[in-house]
């Protein structure tokens, strides 16, 4: 059944913002905006870096589609402001958003619930010395990953293959965050799996296998090259794909996410054990983005995906999505 777009009211597509991912956010936001307009939704671009959020109320907006990425958009801050405004928004609520942006806090919760994630060492600015940095490879082995605890899109990430690279890798990550995550490197297949919905109605979409040049799925290869391969159907054995989907759903639910998200997973090449890396609560919606790609494999067009996510807009005190008769 096609939804009457007027039920959504005036919609703000939040894009841009203050984070290191501002450029990518604009790419996502413009795609979503065009899709919503094509479906007759009264949608408008809104950059919180350029305008106060109070304008949402004074200009009669009814709900927000968040395409902000990273800090001040995906970390619970904008979500909290929208809660105060009583403005329903897409994606997870304040607590889930603030936890998921922090890869260390996310790991702690997953580990507490028995969900698999790579071993790690946390370095806090001001609490570690050079000897602590150089000891990390002894704990995690080589290669290993060093990255800021609260950035996305592989910004500030370094794959360390020699102990001599540790100091520079930590210094690079420390420019972006006070907390530096050093993580066991899992050698094997890199996959991602989106989730749509809330609670018992949440469902995992098809798994995508990512094959990047020399295994380097960095910022450049994510957004600005066409050499990375995205394989969907993923080509994994059916039981293995189902196990990953089950793991991702559990990861999503234990963090109390809602609306939509995307989890990144590594599969150990020898044991075939999947390991959760992180969960993105405001996934990209660019031409290279993975949620639209997975949705398309499930028979959901980009436009239908945008409508479904918009339909799920809610507030923390009203977590169940507002039903407007649209299904995907």
User: What architecture does CATH give domain 5-90?
Assistant: 3-Layer(aba) Sandwich (3.40)
**pLDDT reported for residue 218:** 55
CATH topology of domain 120-184: Dna Ligase; domain 1 (3.30.1490)
21 tagged catalytic? yes
Higher pLDDT, 84 or 216: 84
- Concerning whether 223 is annotated as a catalytic residue, the answer is yes
Instruction: Judge whether residue 222 has pLDDT over 90.
Output: no
Of 324 and 256, which is predicted with more confidence? Answer: 256
**From-to residues of CATH 3.30.470.20 in the chain:** 99-116+186-311
Rounded to whole angstroms, how far apart are CA atoms 110 and 117?
Answer: 7
Give catalytic status of residue 25 as yes or no: no
What pLDDT, on the 0 to 100 scale, is given for residue 288?
83
Indicate if 280 belongs to the active site.
yes
Known catalytic residue at 216: no
Give tens-digit pLDDT for 5-25.
999 999 999 999 998 889 999
Candidate list 153, 294, 312, 314, residue with the active-site label: 153
Residues 73, 91, 188, 284: which is the catalytic one? 284
pLDDT bracket for residue 219 (50, 70, 90): low
Active-site position among 16, 21, 28, 71 = 21
Question: 32: pLDDT confidence band, cut at 50, 70 and 90?
Answer: very high
Average pLDDT of the residues in 83-112:
97
> CATH topology for 99-116+186-311?
D-amino Acid Aminotransferase; Chain A, domain 1 (3.30.470)
pTM given for the model: 0.91
The pLDDT value recorded for residue 151 is 83
Overall average pLDDT of the 155-168 stretch: 95
Is residue 203 part of the annotated active site? The answer reads no
C-alpha dihedral sign at 232, 236, 242, 245: negative
The overall average pLDDT reported for the chain is: 93
Verify whether residue 54 is a known catalytic residue: no
Q: How confident is the model at residue 253 (pLDDT cuts 50, 70, 90)?
A: very high
* Catalytic residue check, 262: yes
Residue 69 has pLDDT above 70, yes or no: yes
Question: Which one, of 221, 102, 70, lies nearest residue 159 by Cα?
Answer: 221
Q: Please write the tens of the pLDDT for every residue from 223-248.
A: 566 788 999 999 998 899 999 999 99
The one catalytic residue among 89, 120, 217, 223 = 223
The segment(s) of the chain belonging to CATH 3.30.1490.20 are 120-184
Please identify which of the residues 278, 289, 302, 314 carries the catalytic annotation. 278
In the chain, list all ranges with CATH 3.40.50.20. 5-90
pLDDT confidence of residue 238: 86
């Amino acid at each position: 059944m096609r939804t009457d777009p007027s039920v959504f009211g005036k919609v703000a597509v939040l894009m841009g913002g203050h984070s290191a991912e501002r450029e990518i956010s604009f790419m996502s936001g413009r795609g979503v905006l065009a899709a919503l307009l094509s479906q007759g939704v009264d949608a408008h671009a809104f950059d919180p870096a350029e305008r106060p959020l109070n304008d949402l109320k004074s200009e009669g907006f009814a709900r927000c589609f968040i395409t902000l990425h990273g800090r001040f958009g995906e970390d619970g801050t904008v979500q909290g402001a929208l809660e105060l405004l009583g403005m329903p928004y897409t994606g997870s609520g304040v607590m889930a958003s603030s936890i998921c942006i922090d890869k260390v806090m996310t790991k702690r919760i997953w580990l507490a619930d028995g969900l698999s994630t790579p071993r790690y060492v946390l370095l806090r600015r001001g609490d570690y010395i050079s000897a602590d940095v150089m000891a990390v490879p002894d704990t995690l082995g080589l290669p290993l990953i060093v990255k800021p605890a609260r950035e996305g899109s592989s910004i500030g990430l370094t794959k360390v293959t020699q102990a001599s690279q540790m100091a520079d890798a930590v210094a690079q990550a420390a420019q972006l965050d006070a907390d530096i995550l050093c993580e066991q490197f899992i050698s094997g297949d890199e996959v991602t799996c989106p989730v749509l919905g809330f609670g018992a109605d949440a469902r995992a979409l098809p798994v995508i296998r990512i094959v990047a040049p020399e295994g380097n799925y960095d910022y450049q290869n994510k957004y600005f090259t066409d050499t990375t391969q995205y394989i969907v159907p993923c080509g994994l054995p059916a039981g293995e794909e189902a196990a990953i989907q089950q793991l991702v759903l559990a990861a999503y639910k234990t963090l109390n996410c809602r609306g939509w998200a995307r989890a990144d997973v590594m599969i150990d090449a020898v044991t075939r054990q999947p390991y959760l890396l992180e969960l993105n609560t405001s996934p990209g919606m660019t031409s290279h983005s993975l949620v639209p790609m997975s949705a398309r494999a499930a028979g959901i067009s980009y436009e239908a995906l945008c409508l479904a996510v918009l339909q799920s807009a809610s507030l923390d005190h009203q977590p169940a999505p507002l039903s407007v008769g649209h299904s995907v």
